[in-house]
């Protein structure tokens, strides 16, 4: 007897053990300190673009978990178009990390990707038990999202080269905290074996 | 001392006492029974289009609370474009109730507009204490949303001529239930004085 | 690789496919209409006491999902003691349905057992996929809880003889609604095969 | 037109601008490292007991936000009785910080006091806009709760002498993080003017 209602409200996406979350990478960076953050974010974006390609090959779905920046009347498409415009500070990030048609989107109104969003439900429908958290900023939105992921009993991977913060020191502290308290795997993306992250069996929550 | 953080994560929309919610009106109706539902929905849509214009004049914001129909990889813009295509059964609804640029969107994954969405937070930022619930279907998604609105201590208005269900009888039962249990005002939209719905003072939750 | 953290915050209860929920049965009934509700509730309580015993034999856990009746400063023990006092209108209910030491408790502040409570998480840790909903009142708190259970993809059983409402007619309407919209099994408890409700395999949400 | 339903489900507690939260102080400390944590917690408890008395005089309600330590079948009364027993390691804490009859309780199943609990709703009914966070441990449950309070636009006060962690260094890092990211006031309790924390006017969220 399947637990899932099979009406139109429950049409479930494909199963996945692991999901790659890109946090706040579609971002115009048009705020105080945005320039300094861009300096930290650019090398991160190059690493993350590679990780995203590898994830796609491994059958791991990508979910953009992105702030709506208070633009409650727009959607992700509008936000993306804005960030791809010439002259926008965050344009190089959006360019490198541009979503593809099989990626998922979750607009978040606050720091954690789980707060007042559909992310928890989406991950459950995807049967995800491990999340790879990446993006901006390591010491705020990535950290808040990681805390919430931990309370939901998800395994957490935060590749150290795929998160960036305004202050490198704060980025490092956040990684240490996530490793110590949240048992996060913080090895750089280059050391990650994506296939090994998948569950051996059909074990579940 | 303001309670709200004024950083980019809390940029709040304008204050409003009342919000008009359009539930699942952007809908291709391409499912069993969709034809019969269209018959019920067409006269409703005409009434609702008028109510939406009146709400705009009264300064009452409109929020589209719409199912994503399992299309977790698309957004509201894509869904709207699909529903506006020629030949799509729900096209006349989408045409009459097409969103404008100052309307708000909330994509819901399940029946209630409050479940796993940002609606609760959006209403709180808008300082809404009364919701006018309209759309499809009166006995399912409107009813589920109304129940959740009631638990959040919101005043509920469900204009009888602005909701439709597959079976007129079920629509009527749902209205009676919302009136009796949820203390909903179910007068037809033509009898509603929108300005009177606004709070006299700054009283709040 | 287990998804669950095994620290003290995640000490999980035993697995169960099915849970029996007793809603608002620990209730002093000291409100307008409480007398009339008691008349409806007494025969229900006798049936429910039997069902609870059968559930225990079948290894199905019982969860008391009970209103705190605005007594935010007390807990379930205090509420129970109050309802067991002589002269309290709801005493015969509390007497027949007195919790045992291996039962679970969830205090709910509003109508649905899922709203602002730990119920969702408890059911997930218990690996429950089917809920048997019983208690008071069929047309309000049981109905609200059933709606929320449905959105969480749980199978719903509402034995018609184990729910009561102030008005028998409203009880009947609620049962019809839950059967039609929520696909609930509303056979009387005497017709329920509790062992058959359990999942054949380890299939899950 | 009041937004609040005045039925038995909405009986609201008194208004308060500020609430004092005691996190995980009713705790047997019977786990690895519990001894070392007790060393840190004892001086904290003395300061906190004084702060609690001052809060009572200032009309600020106290809320015990306490882990259920996986004992899903017990309640706060049972947990308290256990922690007050002779020979239990956390007995001196429970003794000094023993709840009184006008205190509030929230049982939390996970690290943050807001996750899967009624805390958010209770604070809203109490009209709280500032929370004073205290207890155990500064770098885990206090920090998780503070993050969630911040996302709910609450002002955060974490008196440095009223939180303790296993490692003093981690306690200090957590305080610095809460001050920097969450704009928390981390002055010691002795420097806090409780009356000044109250809102000057009736301004609200």
User: pLDDT tens across B43-62, in order?
Assistant: 999 999 999 999 999 999 99
Strands C163-164 and C130-136: parallel
C-contacting chains (≥3 CB pairs under 8 Å): A, B, D
Higher pLDDT, D76 or A158: A158
Q: Which chain B residues have any C-beta within 8 angstroms of a chain C C-beta?
A: 110-112, 115, 139-140, 144, 147-148, 150-151, 170, 173, 177, 180-181
Residue A201 CB partners (closer than 8 Å, separation 6+): none
pTM above 0.95, yes or no: no
For C120, nearest residue in chain D (alpha carbons): D116
pLDDT of C68: 82
Nearest to D106 by CA among D148, D59, D156: D148
**Span A167-202, pLDDT tens digits:** 999 999 999 999 999 999 999 999 999 999 987 544
Q: Name the one residue in this structure whose structure tokens are 């609604």.
A: C177
3-class DSSP assignment, residue C119: helix
For B102, nearest residue in chain A (alpha carbons): A73
Give me the total of CB pairs closer than 8 Å, taking one residue from chain A and one from chain B. Answer: 81
Q: Using H for helix, E for strand and C for coil, what is the string for A52-88? A: HHHHHHCCCCEEEEEECCCCCCCCHHHHHHHHCCCCC
pLDDT of D7: 40
Half-sphere CA count of B5, side-chain side, radius 13 A: 21
- For chain D, percent helix, then strand, then coil, each to nearest 5? 40, 15, 45
Instruction: Copy the structure tokens of residue D164.
Output: 């303790």
**Span D184-202, pLDDT tens digits:** 999 999 999 999 998 754 4
Nearest to D143 by CA among A182, B56, B93: A182
Interface ipTM: 0.89
C135 CA: distance to closest CA in chain D (Å): 16
CA distance D25 to D78: 15
C100 CA: distance to closest CA in chain D (Å): 10
CA distance B157 to B18: 10
CA distance C193 to A1: 15
Least CB–CB distance from B139: residue in C115, C151, C181: C181
Alpha-carbon Rg for chain C, nearest whole angstrom, is 16
A110 to D151: CB separation less than 8 angstroms, yes or no: yes
Contacts of D1 in chain B (CB under 8 A): 129-130, 155, 199-200, 203
Least CB–CB distance from B121: residue in A111, A116, A125: A116
Q: Is residue C203 a contact partner of residue C174, using CB atoms and an 8 Å limit?
A: no
Residue A160 CB partners (closer than 8 Å, separation 6+): A175, A186, A187, A188
pLDDT of D3: 39
C175 vs C17, C36, C193, CA distance in Å?
23, 20, 19
CA distance B64 to B58: 18
A110 to B12: CB separation less than 8 angstroms, yes or no: no
Contacts of D4 in chain B (CB under 8 A): 153, 205
Alpha-carbon Rg for chain D, nearest whole angstrom, is 16
Give me the total of CB pairs closer than 8 Å, taking one residue from chain B and one from chain D. Answer: 47
3-class DSSP assignment, residue D157: strand
For B182, nearest residue in chain C (alpha carbons): C140
B101 vs A52, A73, B12, B122, CA distance in Å?
33, 7, 17, 17
A77 CA: distance to closest CA in chain B (Å): 7
B144 to C144: CB separation less than 8 angstroms, yes or no: no
pLDDT of C76: 84
Q: Which helix (H) or strand (E) holds C37?
A: helix C34-57
Nearest to B162 by CA among B18, B31, B17, B52: B52
For C9, nearest residue in chain A (alpha carbons): A151
For D112, nearest residue in chain C (alpha carbons): C9
Is the previous residue joined to B137 through a cis bond, with omega within 30 degrees of 0?
A: yes
For B9, nearest residue in chain D (alpha carbons): D151
pLDDT of C72: 74
Report CA D180 to chain centroid distance, whole Å.
20
For D146, nearest residue in chain A (alpha carbons): A144
The answer, yes or no, to whether residue D11 has pLDDT greater than 70, is no
For D144, nearest residue in chain A (alpha carbons): A147
pLDDT of B14: 66
Own/partner long-range contacts of A83-86 (Cβ < 8 Å, ≥24 apart): A83/A26, A83/A27, A83/A28
Q: Name the one residue in this structure whose structure tokens are 């019809």.
A: C176
Nearest to C60 by CA among C204, C205, C194: C194
Contacts of A177 in chain D (CB under 8 A): 139, 173, 177
CA distance B83 to A86: 32
Which residues of chain B are modeled with pLDDT < 70?
1-14, 200-205
B102 CA: distance to closest CA in chain D (Å): 23
Burial label, D100 (beta-carbon count in 10 A; 0-12, 13-18, 19+): exposed
**Span B100-133, pLDDT tens digits:** 989 999 999 999 999 999 999 999 999 999 999 9
A53 CA: distance to closest CA in chain D (Å): 33
Strand-pair partners of B128: none
Q: Which chain A residues have any C-beta within 8 angstroms of a chain C C-beta?
A: 1-5, 10, 124, 129-130, 150, 153-155, 183, 199-200, 202-205
Nearest to A122 by CA among A195, A43, A21, A26: A21
The one-digit pLDDT tens for each residue of chain C (205 residues) are: 333 343 434 455 567 899 999 999 999 999 999 999 999 999 999 999 999 999 999 999 999 999 987 677 777 888 899 999 999 999 999 999 999 989 999 999 999 999 999 999 999 999 999 999 999 999 999 999 999 999 999 999 999 999 999 999 999 999 999 999 999 999 999 999 999 998 754 444 3
Q: Where are the beta strands (DSSP E) in chain B?
A: 18-23, 62-67, 104-108, 130-136, 155-157, 163-164
3-class DSSP assignment, residue D8: helix
Which residues of chain A are modeled with pLDDT < 70?
1-14, 70, 200-205
D148 CA: distance to closest CA in chain A (Å): 9
C183 CA: distance to closest CA in chain D (Å): 27
Residue A6 CB partners (closer than 8 Å, separation 6+): none
A155 CA: distance to closest CA in chain C (Å): 6
Q: Would you tell me the crossing angle of helices B76-83 and A76-83 to the nearest 10 degrees?
A: 120
Phi and psi at B178, nearest 5°, equal: -65, -35
Instruction: Copy the structure tokens of residue D18.
Output: 């500020």
DSSP letter at B162? G
pLDDT of A99: 94
pLDDT of A200: 56
Q: What is the mean pLDDT of residues D77-105?
A: 94
Q: Which helix (H) or strand (E) holds C36?
A: helix C34-57
Contacts of B144 in chain C (CB under 8 A): 147, 151
Instruction: Copy the structure tokens of residue A26.
Output: 């579609």
Report CA A4 to chain centroid distance, whole Å.
26
């Amino acid at each position: 007897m399947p637990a899932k209602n099979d009406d139109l409200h429950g049409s479930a996406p494909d199963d996945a053990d692991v999901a790659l979350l890109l946090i706040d990478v579609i971002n115009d960076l048009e705020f105080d300190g945005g320039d300094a953050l861009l300096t930290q974010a650019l090398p991160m974006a190059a690493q993350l673009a590679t990780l995203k390609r590898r994830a796609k090959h491994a059958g791991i779905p990508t979910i953009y978990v992105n702030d709506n920046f208070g633009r409650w009347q727009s959607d992700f498409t509008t936000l993306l178009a804005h960030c791809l415009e010439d002259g926008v500070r965050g344009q190089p990030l959006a360019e490198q990390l541009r979503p593809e048609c099989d990626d998922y989107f979750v607009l978040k109104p606050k720091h954690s990707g789980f707060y007042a969003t559909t992310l928890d439900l989406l991950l459950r429908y995807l049967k995800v038990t491990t999340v790879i958290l990446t993006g901006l900023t390591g010491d705020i939105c990535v950290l808040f999202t990681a805390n919430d992921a931990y309370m939901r009993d998800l395994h957490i991977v935060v590749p150290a080269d795929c998160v960036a913060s305004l202050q490198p020191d704060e980025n490092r502290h956040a990684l240490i905290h996530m490793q110590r308290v949240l048992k996060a795997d913080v090895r750089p993306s280059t050391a990650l074996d994506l296939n090994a992250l998948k569950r051996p069996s059909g074990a579940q929550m």
